[in-house]
Amino acid sequence: MDEGRTFRVAAAQFAVGGDRKANLATCTRMIDAAAERGAVLVVLPEFCNHLSWYDDRQEALDAACRPGDDFLAPVAERAARHGIYVKIHVTLADGHEGSRRITAASLLYGPDGALVGSADKQVLMGSENDHLDPATEAGPVLDTALGPVGLYSCMEGVVNEVCRGLALRGAHLLLNSLNSFALDEASLHIPVRAAENRVWVIAANKVGPLLPADRIGTISAGMGVPPEALDGAGESQIVAPDGTVVAQGPRYGEALVIADIRPSAAADKRRADGTDVFAVRRPELYRKIASAPAPAPAFAGERAEEVGAAVLRPAGRGAAALEHAAALSREAAARGASLIVLPELFWHPGGIRPEPAPRDEPAPDAILRTLREALSDTSALLAFTLPLPSGHAGVLLGSDGPVLVQHQLHDSARNRAWARAGRAEALLTHDTPWGRLAVVVGDDGILPETFRLAALQGVDTVAVCHSGVEPWEGRLGLPERAAENRMNLVVAGHGAGAFHALPVEFGLWRSRASPFDGTISTPSTTRAGQGLSLAVIRPREAGKRLVSRGTDLVDDRPWRLSGALVAPHSAAAPAAH
């Protein structure tokens, strides 16, 4: 691949119905249109051959494509005719006589019309579990003229493991086919996968009805979703490695989304502060993620329905910031906050501590004493970070002293000279009368693995003490950690803060007390301002993880196929056919 070369790519957005021939005609027409506009790659939506709804497995088997059949062969021919790459998604029978295996398959055809590679869907959504079979192996990273490419679809992007694995194995472009009516695909789940992995994402969603016309009434009643909300959500998009959406389709109607991209930009995994976000990973700590689901340690009490929380953003620096933080802490506790969170190294602007430390820096014991006094005669807990001799640590402080000290798990270029991060060997938790807490320290907050580990330990609330270096971290990254793990986040940063509380209404196939808002997995976010901000979090809601019937956001992660997450880091992971 020419390292500086740009390529024109396209995401095709359209409707699919019950007529196989009409569906094929739409696919080939959109491929032609993309080629006419100069695209060398076009991504089509999920389930292009048939609506993703079946009465039984036999109907699914009858509707499925077979390798080289009268649906796929014309698509391959169009790729060859135009000399372009075409990614299509269909239900696929394996073609072996007597086999009843059916997968949801992503297929990439090359400029010569040959199949470059395929990937079966690892995480099935809702009714897909009834008639389709999940993948038995992780999808490959494919070597193409555009660079290394990974294939995924829809629900695989609502959790982090599939995209993370592809990027760790060297993919620079991730091609996503969707069959989704959820508005939070475009607003959150699609762009965050680009930003957290520093790769390009090209995502094609559907428009129009996603279900048979004669079933929509019954299905919508069972899901608690109005019929009009069951159309494809559109908003297909092309996202850059920093999370910027460079092109996006409309909410309604057929469209081609076109952009010129430079795939080689995804080779650089350095954050704005110089931290290589892949090199700082610690795969040895993530083994639980790639292990069979197991019950989390029991919580002795009962998680509270609602808890008051506070984010503090004190003014000034040094001793002045400490005194302001203490005053705000007293006020927060008096106003009912059970959890109070301060930014990383709150007395240093931007969370950056010079080396050597400035002479006016408050000593750790003075910080602990002053903040502990602020909590006197209260049951509130205060989360903040300290530069201890043993490294950068998060402290969860009560009126009687620290109840948890969490050292930073991952290295960071910003404070590398003194922090000695990477010493911690586990993410710790603390049980309160109202829920189970973890404290995330500084740049541990930019890695999805940190929060997945917390979820696997039964954490319902995370105090995040960070600084925030790039816009995507607060806009996409932290909301996604709440969404994909079903946990509350109370986030204090120097530039911004937020409460990402779990909504009461969550998941499909359940009755609803309030109207469906179009999202399937997004927290209720309250932004924090300067000084003191208060909001409510909901620990009890963390027990609800079924995003749809048969699909648990945490336990149904593709743990069997997540070996890349626990493999030793390689600075140059090779692409493979």
For 378-394, write each residue's pLDDT tens digit.
Answer: 999 999 999 998 899 99
Q: Is the pLDDT of residue 96 over 80?
A: no
Residue 273 lies in a domain: no
Q: 315-344: buried (b, 16+ CB within 10 Å) or exposed (e) per residue?
A: eeeeeebbbbbbebbbbbbeeebbbbbbbb
Residues 260, 317 within the same domain: no
Residue range 3-17: average pLDDT? 93
What are the beta bridge partners of residue 193? none
Beta strands in 458-561 (DSSP E): 461-465, 488-492, 497-501, 524-528, 531-537, 546-548, 551-552
Residues 370, 238 within the same domain: no
- Give the span between the Cα atoms of 109 and 115, in whole angstroms: 4
Res 158: pLDDT: 97
Which residue, of 216, 240, 268, is where some domain finishes? Answer: 268
Res 165: pLDDT: 98
Domain count for the chain, please give it.
2
Residue range 136-144: average pLDDT? 98
Starting at the edge strand found earlier in the chain, the sheet holding 488-492 runs 430-431, 436-441, 461-465, 488-492, 497-501, 524-528
Residues 262, 361 within the same domain: no
Of 443, 484, 468, 486, the closest CA to residue 527 belongs to 468
Residues 446, 499 within the same domain: yes
- Give the span between the Cα atoms of 279 and 443, in whole angstroms: 13
Res 574: pLDDT: 43
What are residue 260's phi and psi, to 5 degrees?
Answer: -95, 125
Which residue, of 242, 268, 294, is where some domain finishes? Answer: 268
Res 1: pLDDT: 44
Residues 70, 218 within the same domain: yes
Cβ proximity of 441 and 408 under 8 Å: yes
Residues 359, 484 within the same domain: yes
Residues 232, 103 within the same domain: yes
Res 517: pLDDT: 84
Cβ proximity of 548 and 126 under 8 Å: yes
**540 contacts: CB under 8 Å, gap ≥ 6:** 302, 303, 304, 305, 435, 460
- When mean pLDDT is compared across 175-184, 268-277, 310-319, 350-359, the lowest value belongs to 350-359
- Give the span between the Cα atoms of 383 and 329, in whole angstroms: 11
What are residue 444's phi and psi, to 5 degrees?
Answer: -60, -20
Q: Is the pLDDT of residue 576 over 50?
A: no
3-state secondary structure 377-410: CCCCEEEEEEEECCEEEEEEEECCEEEEEEECCC
Residue 287 lies in a domain: no
Residues 384, 253 within the same domain: no
Over the stretch 472-490, which tens digit does the pLDDT of each residue have?
A: 999 999 999 999 999 999 9
Cβ proximity of 339 and 435 under 8 Å: no
* Confidence band, pLDDT 50/70/90 cuts, at residue 377: very high
Residue 350 lies in a domain: yes
Q: How high is the mean pLDDT of the chain? A: 94
- Give the span between the Cα atoms of 123 and 258, in whole angstroms: 28
Res 422: pLDDT: 62
Place of tokens 């302001």: 324
Residue 103 lies in a domain: yes
Peptide bond into 356 cis (omega under 30): yes
For the chain, the first-to-last Cα distance in angstroms comes to 16
* Confidence band, pLDDT 50/70/90 cuts, at residue 328: very high
Res 44: pLDDT: 99
Packing angle, helices 161-168 and 190-197, rounded to 10: 30
Of 495, 470, 532, 465, the closest CA to residue 350 belongs to 495
Res 3: pLDDT: 55
Residue 392 lies in a domain: yes
Q: Is the pLDDT of residue 572 over 60?
A: no
- Give the span between the Cα atoms of 71 and 494, in whole angstroms: 54
Res 196: pLDDT: 98
Residues 487, 346 within the same domain: yes
Which residue, of 240, 268, 296, is where some domain finishes? Answer: 268
**170 contacts: CB under 8 Å, gap ≥ 6:** 141, 148, 572, 573, 574, 575
* Confidence band, pLDDT 50/70/90 cuts, at residue 510: low
Residue 525 lies in a domain: yes
Which is more confidently placed, 423 or 561?
Answer: 561
Res 509: pLDDT: 61
**416 contacts: CB under 8 Å, gap ≥ 6:** none
Q: What is the CATH number of the domain that holds 81?
A: 3.60.110.10
Residues 251, 321 within the same domain: no
The DSSP code sequence of 151-211 is EEEGGGGTSSHHHHHHHHTT-SEEEEE-----THIIIIIHHHHHHHHT-EEEEE-B-SBSS
Percent of the chain with pLDDT over 70: 97
Residue 113 Ramachandran class (φ > 0 left, ψ -120 to 50 alpha, else beta):
left
* Confidence band, pLDDT 50/70/90 cuts, at residue 221: confident
Residue 44 lies in a domain: yes
- Give the span between the Cα atoms of 157 and 437, in whole angstroms: 26
C-alpha distances (whole Å) from 562 to each of 136, 173, 251, 387 are: 12, 19, 33, 34
- Supply the range of the domain harboring residue 545: 305-566
Residues 218, 315 within the same domain: no
Amino acid, single-letter form, for residue 90:
V
Res 421: pLDDT: 62
Residue range 254-278: average pLDDT? 96
Residues 496, 356 within the same domain: yes
Residue 334 lies in a domain: yes
Res 575: pLDDT: 43
